């Protein structure tokens, strides 16, 4: 077996990665991740930034939590969300580098 073949992930792991990439591949979720990489936010703050109803923002957050991207913590009646997946910083940097440049 070649060195490259030894580094191949199992199809099961690739299926798991594909599912999480599908979850991430949404403009509102990417915006939320951008915000959360800068610090914790409430559902209301994220919903307003994405121009979404709070219930819809909560659903997006739930999907991202299920993939292990986010966690949440309570402070009184408020729930704050934050990024726990360290690789999201690199993924967002790639996206911002590729799509953030303005075309003249």
pTM of the model: 0.86
The answer to whether the beta carbons of residues 20 and 65 sit under 8 Å apart is no
The string of DSSP letters for 18-37 reads HHHHHHH-SHHHHHHHHHHH
Examine the pLDDT at 79 and tell me if it is beyond 90: yes
- Reported as a pLDDT band with limits 50, 70 and 90, residue 24 is very high
What is the rounded average pLDDT of the residues 43-65?
97
pLDDT at residue 62 tops 50? yes
CATH code for 13-98? 1.10.10.10
Domains of the chain by residue range: 13-98
């Amino acid at each position: 077996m070649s060195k490259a073949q030894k580094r191949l992930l199992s199809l099961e792991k690739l299926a798991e990665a594909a599912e999480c990439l599908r979850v991430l591949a949404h403009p509102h979720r990417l915006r939320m991740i951008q915000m959360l990489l800068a610090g914790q936010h409430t559902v209301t703050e994220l919903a307003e930034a994405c121009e979404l109803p709070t219930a819809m923002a909560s659903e997006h957050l739930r999907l991202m939590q299920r993939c292990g991207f986010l966690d949440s913590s309570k402070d009184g009646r408020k729930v704050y969300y934050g990024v726990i997946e360290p690789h999201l910083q690199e993924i967002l940097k790639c996206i911002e580098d590729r799509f953030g440049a303005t075309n003249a």
